[in-house]
């Protein structure tokens, strides 16, 4: 699941042939608001932005629900909001609020009991039985590998549909976690983080069912845009970049818009 930070990017993900798209909390915060991933967006903001993405594509969209936007009652409210917005599921993490990027030092986690209470509230709140609730644990970097495994098993007992072990540090840890936690597993293969850049094929052999690439498209886009803007400032023309641009016709095709007839279809 590549991460999409807006609806147009989600359409690119779909067009590339992926079976699902991920709505990264960091992607929304960084790209839309220009702030770090420390829980600064409200539930209403995330639901609205994620809803734009979910409605732009036919493939399922999974959203990052951070720490649930509060306690168990807030988490239940988040489930209902994301269902209404058209999301196919969410993941919920056991960090202390305000959270930090999962691959940074200095994280803290709530008690296992507090997290399981949120998970039970989330499961009880959903009206669509197909809405996925994935439990993410950040315990590996805080309490160690064995505690991450222990928490994961408790989260499954609380009703989680799958487990997301954040920031495992070696291929062996990914492999051992999959042996110890028998559940649909999600791996986060983000660049410049603590986890090795394992391939989807490698992870599938270990037993992982879902693989996130949360900021890959965003980082590539930002690097290219910065280079283009610096060159434009220096030269005063964009001519040398034309061959590297998406054309107007290609954009309209992606959006489902016919400029001649004026017809517009979201593709559904």
Q: Is 66 a catalytic residue?
A: yes
Exactly one of 11, 91, 103, 151 is catalytic; name it. Answer: 91
Q: Is 37 a catalytic residue?
A: yes
Instruction: State the Cα–Cα distance between residues 141 and 168, nearest whole angstrom.
Output: 8
Assess contact for 124 and 82: CB atoms under 8 A.
Answer: no
Candidates 116, 119, 166; CA nearest to 140 is: 166
Exactly one of 11, 103, 126, 136 is catalytic; name it. Answer: 136
Q: Encode the chain (268 residues) as per-residue pLDDT tens digits.
A: 999 999 999 999 999 999 999 999 999 999 999 999 999 999 999 999 999 999 999 999 999 999 999 999 999 999 999 999 999 999 999 999 988 888 888 899 999 999 999 999 999 999 999 999 999 999 999 999 999 999 999 999 999 999 999 999 999 999 999 999 999 999 999 999 999 999 999 999 999 999 999 999 999 999 999 999 999 999 999 999 999 999 999 999 999 999 888 888 764 4
Q: Is 94 a catalytic residue?
A: no
Exactly one of 11, 22, 30, 94 is catalytic; name it. Answer: 22
Exactly one of 101, 140, 155, 161 is catalytic; name it. Answer: 101
Assess contact for 171 and 196: CB atoms under 8 A.
Answer: yes
CATH dotted code for 7-221: 3.20.20.60
Q: Is 93 a catalytic residue?
A: yes
Exactly one of 11, 14, 30, 93 is catalytic; name it. Answer: 93
Residue recorded with tokens 């001649």:
260
Each domain of the chain, given as residue ranges in start order, spans 7-221
pLDDT attached to residue 268: 46
Instruction: State the Cα–Cα distance between residues 47 and 56, nearest whole angstrom.
Output: 14
Assess contact for 247 and 240: CB atoms under 8 A.
Answer: no
Instruction: State the Cα–Cα distance between residues 259 and 45, nearest whole angstrom.
Output: 31
| 235 membership: H or E segment, kind and range | helix 216-235
34: left (phi over 0), alpha (psi -120 to 50) or beta: left
Exactly one of 11, 14, 30, 37 is catalytic; name it. Answer: 37
| 210 membership: H or E segment, kind and range | strand 208-212
Give residue 11's Cα distance to chain centre. Answer: 15
Instruction: State the Cα–Cα distance between residues 91 and 99, nearest whole angstrom.
Output: 14
Give the angle subtended at the CA of 150 by the CAs of 149 and 151, to the nearest 5°. Answer: 90
Instruction: State the Cα–Cα distance between residues 248 and 235, nearest whole angstrom.
Output: 23
Q: Is 64 a catalytic residue?
A: yes
pLDDT attached to residue 103: 87
Q: Positive or negative, the Cα torsion across 54, 46, 129, 110? A: positive
Q: Is 101 a catalytic residue?
A: yes
Exactly one of 30, 166, 175, 208 is catalytic; name it. Answer: 166
pLDDT tens string 246-258: 999 999 999 999 9
Neighbours of 98 (CB within 10 A): 11
Exactly one of 14, 64, 83, 161 is catalytic; name it. Answer: 64
pLDDT attached to residue 266: 63
């Amino acid at each position: 699941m590549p991460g999409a930070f807006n609806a147009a990017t989600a359409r690119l993900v779909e067009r590339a042939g992926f079976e699902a798209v991920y709505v990264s909390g960091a992607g929304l915060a960084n790209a839309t608001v220009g702030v770090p991933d420390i829980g600064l967006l409200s539930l209403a903001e995330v639901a609205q932005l994620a809803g734009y993405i979910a409605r732009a594509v036919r493939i399922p969209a999974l959203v990052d629900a951070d720490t649930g936007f509060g306690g168990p009652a807030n988490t239940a409210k988040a489930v209902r909001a994301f269902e209404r917005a058209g999301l196919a599921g969410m993941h919920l993490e056991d960090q202390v609020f305000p959270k930090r990027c999962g691959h940074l030092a200095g994280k803290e986690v709530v008690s296992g009991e507090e997290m399981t209470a949120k998970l039970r509230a989330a499961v009880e709140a959903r009206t669509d039985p197909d809405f996925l609730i994935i439990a993410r644990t950040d315990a590996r970097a805080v309490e160690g590998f064995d505690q991450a495994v222990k928490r994961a098993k408790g989260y499954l007992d609380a009703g989680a549909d799958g487990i997301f072990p954040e920031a495992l540090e070696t291929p062996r840890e990914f492999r051992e976690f999959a042996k110890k936690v028998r559940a649909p597993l999600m791996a986060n293969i983000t660049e410049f983080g603590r986890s090795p850049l394992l391939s989807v094929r490698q992870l599938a052999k270990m037993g992982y069912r879902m693989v996130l690439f949360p900021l890959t498209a965003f980082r590539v886009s930002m690097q290219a845009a910065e280079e283009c803007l610096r060159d434009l400032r220096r030269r005063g023309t964009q001519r040398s970049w034309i061959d590297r641009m998406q054309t107007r016709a290609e954009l309209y095709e992606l959006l489902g818009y016919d400029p001649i007839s004026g017809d517009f279809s979201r593709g559904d």
